[in-house]
């Protein structure tokens, strides 16, 4: 089974990388770009199992390694 963990910087944390991309887009002539935020997508191949248990396992992975709760939020998308 494939799971995806999306990790985003919390809204209140400044994202200099996103800001650099926003400026570059402006330089390229794209208008109307208000803001850019950059996060990470972690795709994980998992042995199939009970969905609730997998969800719990993924949350533990995210809490302990994939995301830093001080500055990041995460979202788990469990595939079929």
Partner 1 sequence: MKAAVVIFPGSNCDHDVLHVLRNVLQVPTTPVWHRERLPSGIDLVVLPGGFSFGDYLRCGAIAHQSEVMADVKQHAERGGLVLGICNGFQILTESRLLPGALTRNVHRRFECRDVWLKREGESAFSRAVPEVLRVPIAHSDGRYQIDAEGLAKLQTEGRIAFRYCDPRGNVVTEANPNGAMVNIAGIYGGPRKNVLGMMPHPERLAESALGGEDGRSIFEAVLRAA
Q: Given the rule CB under 8 A, which residues bind partner 1? A: 13-17, 20, 40, 64-66, 68, 70-71
**65 CB-near residues (< 8 Å, 6+ apart):** none
Of the two residues 39 and 78, which places its CB atom closer to partner 1 in the complex? 39
Of the two residues 10 and 51, which places its CB atom closer to partner 1 in the complex? 10
Q: Can you tell me the distance from the alpha carbon of 31 to that of 10, in angstroms, rounded to the nearest whole number? A: 25
Query: Shortest gap between Cβ of 39 and partner 1 (angstroms)?
Result: 12
Query: Shortest gap between Cβ of 68 and partner 1 (angstroms)?
Result: 6
The 10 Å Cβ neighbour count of residue 67 is 22
């Amino acid at each position: 089974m494939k799971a995806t963990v999306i990790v985003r910087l919390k809204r209140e944390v400044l994202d200099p990388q996103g800001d650099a991309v926003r400026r570059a887009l402006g330089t390229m002539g794209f208008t109307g770009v208000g803001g850019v935020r950059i996060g990470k997508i972690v795709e994980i191949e998992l042995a199939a199992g009970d969905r609730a248990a997998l969800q719990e396992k993924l949350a533990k992975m995210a809490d302990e390694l994939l995301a830093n709760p001080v500055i990041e939020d995460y979202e788990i998308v469990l595939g079929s």
